[in-house]
Amino acid sequence: MKEKSQDQIIRTEYSEVMQKSYIDYAMSVIISRALPDVRDGLKPVQRRTLYDMYELGIQYDKPYRKCARIVGDTMGKYHPHGDSSIYEALVVLAQDFKKGQTLVDGHGNFGSIEGDIAAAMRYTEARLEKITQDVYLKDLDKDVIDFMPNFDETEKEPVVLPVRVPNLLLNGADGIAVGMATSIPPHNLGEIVDAVKAYMENNDITIQELMRYIKGPDFPTGGIVVNKDELLSIYEKGTGKIRIRGKVEVEKSKNGKQCIVITEIPYPMIGANIGKFLNDVAGLVESKKAPEITDISNQSSKEGIRIVLELKKGAEPERIINLLYKKTRLEDTFGVNMLAVAEGRPETLNLKQIIEYHVDFQFEVATRKYQNLLRREMDKREVQEGLIKACDVIDLIIEILRGSKTQKQVKDCLIMGITEGIRFRTKASEKKAAQLCFTERQATAILEMRLQKLIGLEMEALLKDHEETLAKINRYEDILNHYDSMAQVIMEDLDRIKKEYAKKRRTAIENAEEVVLEEARVEEMDVVFLMDRFGYAKTIDVSAYERNQEAILSENKFVFRCRNTDKICVFTDLGQMHTVKVLDIPYGRFRDKGTPIDNLGNYSSQKEQMVYVDALSNIKNQKLLFATATGMVKVVDGSEFDVVKRTIAATKLSGEEDRLILVGIFGESDYVVLQTKGGYFLRFSASEVPEKKKAAVGVRGIRLNENDQVEHAYLLESRMECTIMYHEKPITLNSKVKLAKRDTKGTKLRV
């Protein structure tokens, strides 16, 4: 038994097992959950939800059903990945502000464009839209697509739905898989139909020619696409960025003031971003960048978006509109990545490829449909021909029926002409019966035929049905045997869909110049910058500082004068320098709380610590001394920090464990004091420190013992007495630490 168990052990590399498992997981997420199929443009959860509603008979002309019932049935039969993902997919399919064409008719609270979430599934109800039944689920009973077993092999589910239009373009798609994501904008149904027809008429059509029909995306929220000339490149590559602006109008209010009214928003703004936009506008007002705005009101309703900004008399609406485009999400970008599952693998597709895959799928569906219809009509023709032939010899058939003892005798006689065991009135009848040769299906139909079929009118109806059947067979054979005939049928169906369901384009497509914002001229003035030990920053009037100087200096960590047009430079222990415009810092009274410096720039108190803060105007004409934990020192010209970027590397650290300890302005008569964790102090002249570029590491300031590092650094003026606390006792550095040379070990103080 032991030998047998040892034989079952498979030895393998752990990394190989992990790699295979991760690849299997990634492909499962990509194919089975996150990405849509190029043929029907649906992700598995959407396809399964729609098919389950179809199976439950929740049609557009039937009563609504509870969403909880739909979600539970879908999860139990087809999608065992949790009810929240199914309900979320169901809700999105019903939201007209997210989908170019809603596929589910929702009843109840299905959320709002402003980001309100849908009510719980036990409260909401839903049913299929008419277009879903007519365009997405039609002909499922005609064996037009393949079915596969569900997760536990107790049910069958469709591999793909027989969608008649390129849903990948109509409704777009978004999804995040493992290592890849898809983002496809919605388009106009009428334009898509015209493009598909153009491709069917000329397979060599170019993407540029297709764009005569598809002008560009058609977002349900409207708006204006402003980079029309870039759309061709986006549709050719399948990737790119679409710039969208909200639609803005200028109106006059009842009190005679001008108002900026936003009636359409960029598609990426839907949801919580509307609230963020309103906060951003309020921020522009507070920071004095848009003082002309006196009131902000969101008057949006079910009828549509209406955000009203009331302006002061004499304000320039054009400047405010440009400011909104530049500083808020009223102009935004939609990142396009037309990734979908094509032939079982993820692929980035261009516009023509999506249409090509769709048309190939339509021909496949149509072929299977008409093959199935032809088969049915052939079977019907066989029965009809049998009944017509039987009516001609009905007396003989009745004689066979009356002379037979069993049904088998009758069938054998009708099919093979076997007359044994059947009593006939005459030999002539028996001879005729022996010549009968009906098929199995015809014989069954004759035995099931009612006597009323012998009435003259019934016979005429039978002959008429037979003629119609023959006409259908000819038509179906023509469709199956000729490309043009099948293409004509598909295009006629597309024309019908366009006529019944197409809507007017909502998004305008144009070329617009980049917004050039002329900043309102700020009255230049002196201010005092204050930052407390918690990182809250503000600026105050110089006179207020002079009146409260003693209290300000005792309560704040950094205090200095600067101009309101200046920049604040924040040096951190990670060797970074972050800049913040003084105009972005709140200007107010001495006792105002201020704003965390984290909120004003790229600095993050969670990841780095402030070492030095000063105004750019104070340092750009000075020399700055840098000291790090590994004992490296250097001098850098302050002009190197006069940069446009908001964050730069202020110095190069010597390793991952290194950090910046000191930044300070110095003169040639100054001294540098380095203090290590091991208790060593070294004081040397700052003139010994060479000037380097900001990208340099510097030179060694002190020789460190193993596992020791610089803990504090001080920059002293020659006549300044500097007292620090060391082991809870005060020490005067000038007198206690003797002057030495740079790059020596220093003196260990004993207290």
The residues assigned a catalytic role are: 123
Residue 368's H or E segment, with its range, is helix 351-392
Q: Name beta bridge partners: 251.
A: 259
**How far is Cα 155 from Cα 375, in angstroms, rounded to an integer?**
26
Number of neighbouring beta carbons within 10 Å of residue 658: 21
**How far is Cα 481 from Cα 470, in angstroms, rounded to an integer?**
16
**How far is Cα 192 from Cα 728, in angstroms, rounded to an integer?**
79
Write b or e for each residue in 289-308: b if 16 or more Cβ atoms lie within 10 A of its Cβ, otherwise e. bbebbeebeeebeeeebebb
**How far is Cα 547 from Cα 549, in angstroms, rounded to an integer?**
6
418 φ, ψ (degrees, to nearest 5): -80, 120
What spatial distance separates the first Cα and last Cα of the chain, rounded to whole Å? 75
Contact 223, 231 (CB under 8 A): no
Kindly give the pairing relationship between strand 558-563 and strand 526-531. antiparallel
Contact 630, 709 (CB under 8 A): yes
Residue ranges of E strands in 129-253? 147-149, 156-158, 173-176, 181-184, 224-225, 239-245, 247-252
Q: Which residue is associated with the tokens 């993050």?
A: 604
Q: What are the CA-CA distances from residue 538 to residues 124, 243, 285, 615 (Å)?
A: 50, 36, 17, 13
Residues 107, 113, 119, 120: is their CA dihedral positive or negative? positive
**How far is Cα 474 from Cα 480, in angstroms, rounded to an integer?**
10
Q: What burial class does residue 725 get, using C-beta atoms within 10 Å of its C-beta: 0-12 exposed, 13-18 middle, 19+ buried?
A: exposed
**How far is Cα 112 from Cα 110, in angstroms, rounded to an integer?**
7
- In three-state secondary structure terms, 311 is strand
Q: What are the contacts of 455-459 at 24+ separation with CB within 8 A?
A: 459/391
Q: What burial class does residue 188 get, using C-beta atoms within 10 Å of its C-beta: 0-12 exposed, 13-18 middle, 19+ buried?
A: buried
Contact 74, 52 (CB under 8 A): yes
